[in-house]
Structure formats: structure tokens, C-alpha cells
Amino acid sequence: MKTAFHIKLISVFFFLLIGGKVSALEPPLNILFIGNSFTHMNSMPKMFERMATSNKQRVHVEMSAKSNHTFKMHCERPEMFDKIKSRKWDYIIIQGFSRELIDDYNYIDTACMPYFNEIVDSIYLSNPCTNILLYETWGYKNGLNDSLRVMTFDAMTDFIERGYKYLSELYNIPIVPVGKVWQDVANKHKGINLYAEDLAHPSQYGSYLVATSFYTAIFKKAPDDTFTDGLDPVKVKAIHASAYKYILTNIDMYKLKMNSMFISAEKLKNGNLKIRCKQYFRDADSVRWDFGDGKFSNYKSLSHVYTKEGTYMIKLTIYDQCGTRILFKEETLKKVKVPPKTTPPKP
């Protein structure tokens, strides 16, 4: 399903490279969280912002979140739409009410879809180049037992994911699989209490897991283990490992390569630096790589070798319906200087 608005812009958008080193000249990523208490509990968006900043990523983060809100209830909040229109957001993250996405598709089509569509259309009308991410939540610790449904924690988590995947396929929007990372940590690390006292909302560790999942999904790497936000470093490290492994192992399934680029670097035996460059802008009319050493390319994916020591700013320019978008990453080549061989004096 396509949204109602597709507008071409003639302008320049600057995007940070996923996983790149931040230049002081680059503007911050503008990120907006829309959700309910699963978003605002423990000020999770600010926790994510502190996590990113501590890892040298420049971000500006805001939220529009109200407890117990469904997609329909969000659409009744003019302030949410005002927030969407308040700036050019690079990312807007949408979190639904967990129980509205565990029903069958017919229910989702009638009870959720019209309002979700209204939110998505509002985002693309304000800025058609915003990257939307779906915030997949988790099952309650003791599962769900109401007049309509009885399911375990694992079953509830899986049904929630099914609902988000349904939206993802219809709208071609990536998912941040927080619920599956939560499930992995909850089942493997019993000593990490992810839940608040009500056994549904996140504890401080639960919100930390959420922030870590978004950091990993957006920047394609785990945050530095030195950022603990006052939590147990051992438990923090376990959360980082689970988020990194699950999200990057399943990156294609959740469409998280969309509108990003990847650069890997390999030091060669001769001391040179080889980089492999890939971009995932499916609708790009053309691309241009600038390797910072006077070399350029218009191939969509390629390799490049640096032979001289130095720090190089790699720039990818994307030309598409959004106008011109520019992504950066910095790479440094340092060659090990081997002392010249000396001939020992003859006796």
C-alpha cells in the first residue's frame, strides 16, 4: 500500500552515515518518537539521546507520547501532528498499542489501519524523505489472559511481531524488533529484570534495552559498553550483545538496510586500506561516491583502495525524488613503519 502523498523536492538533505564518525560540520540527525508509556517510561528517548551522544553520534531527539494511546487516539491529538510538522525529521519512530496488533488482520484493517495511514500520510506530507521506523513492542511477563485471549509471553510477543510485519509489508516500512530482542534477553538472562512492577511496562533495564535496540538499528553497531546509564555493566553488555546479534543477523527481514549505506574496511598485507562500499537507496536515480583522495565513482556498489596515509572523508551523494542527499563516513589509513634492516658489522 502506498501513501497518498508523493512530493518531489529540490533541496539538499544531509544524513549521517550509518556507523560513521561524526564531523562537527554535519548537522545532527533529527529523531522523533511517537508512542505511549512504552516509549516515555524512564524517559527512554532521552536515554537513547545520551547513548548516541556518548558514542559521538550527533542527534536531536524529541517525543510525542501519551499513556495508553492507540493509533486512533494519537490521531485525536493535534499536538502530535504539530510535532510532526515542527521540523524536517530524519527519523520518525511509531509505536502502537501492543494489544491492538495481536488480533487478526481484519481487525487491524478496520481498527488500526485508517489511523496509522493518517499518521504516515501526515509524515510524508510534511517531509516525504523522512525515514519511518516501526517500534515493535513485547509480550507481558505473564502473557495475556482476558475475556478474548489467553497466551503466554512468547506467544504474545510473536503475535505482536506478526501485526508489525503486516504493517511493514503493506507500507514498506522497516521494523526495529525491540520485542524479539526483549524475548531473547528475557529467556537467556533471567537475572536481568526488564519489567516494572506491573509486569508489562519496562523497568530501567527494559528501557535501556529499547534504547540499545534503536541505536543498533539506526547506526548498525552496538553502543560503547562504557555507557551504562548507572546500570550494572555486566547486564548492559549482555543487552548490547543480544541487540547487536539479533538485529544485524535479521537486518534484511526487518528492512533495516533501506535508505542506508555500508562501508567496511580491511587492512591489506601491503599496508594499504581496502574499503567495500554498498548503498541501499532502491529508488535512487543515480549516485556519486567521493573517496576524499581525488577519486570518484558512479557505481552503486564497489571497492576502493587507499595507498597513502591520511584521514579520508568518504561522501555518497544520492539523487532521487527527495532531491540530493549526502552521507558521510571517515576512514583513516596509518601504515606501520618498519625500521630498515641493518647489516651487523663484520667481526
Longest dimension (CA), the chain: 97
Are the C-beta atoms of residues 221 and 262 closer than 8 Å to each other? no
**Ramachandran angles phi, psi of 268, nearest 5°:** -85, 165
Domains of the chain: 26-249 (3.40.50.1110), 261-333 (2.60.40.10)
Strand, coil or helix: what is 218? helix
Q: In what order do the strands lie in the sheet with 301-306?
A: 261-267, 273-279, 301-306
The residue type at 162: R
Beta-strand ranges (E) seen in 246-300 are: 261-267, 273-279, 286-290, 296-297
Task: Return the HEC string of 9-55.
Answer: CCCEEEEECCCCCCCCCCCCEEEEEEECHHHHHHHHHHHHHHHHHHC
**What is the residue-level pLDDT of the chain in tens, covering all 347 positions?**
434 333 233 233 333 344 444 444 567 899 999 999 999 999 999 999 999 999 989 999 999 999 999 999 999 999 999 999 999 999 999 999 988 999 999 999 999 999 999 999 999 999 988 999 999 999 999 999 887 789 999 999 999 999 999 999 999 999 999 999 999 999 999 999 999 999 999 999 999 999 999 999 999 999 998 899 999 999 999 999 999 999 999 999 999 999 988 898 999 999 999 999 999 998 899 999 999 999 999 999 999 999 999 999 999 999 988 888 888 888 999 876 656 666 666 66
Measured CA distances, 260 to 16, 217, 281, 331, 339 (Å):
9, 11, 7, 17, 42
Give the separation between CA 15 and CA 30, rounded to whole angstroms: 10
Whole-prediction pTM:
0.84
Task: State the sign of the Cα–Cα–Cα–Cα dihedral 18, 245, 249, 251.
Answer: negative
Please report the pLDDT score of residue 182 as a whole number: 98
Give the separation between CA 312 and CA 26, rounded to whole angstroms: 15
Are the C-beta atoms of residues 53 and 68 closer than 8 Å to each other? no
**Ramachandran angles phi, psi of 314, nearest 5°:** -85, 130
- Cα 44 → chain centroid: 15
Nearest to 172 by CA among 262, 257, 245: 257
Count Cβ atoms within 10 A of the Cβ of residue 347 and give its class: 0-12 exposed, 13-18 middle, 19 or more buried: exposed
Look-up: residue for cell 565513482? Answer: 297
Please report the pLDDT score of residue 344 as a whole number: 63
Give the separation between CA 90 and CA 211, rounded to whole angstroms: 17
The residue type at 177: P
**Ramachandran angles phi, psi of 175, nearest 5°:** -115, 140
Please report the pLDDT score of residue 148 as a whole number: 79
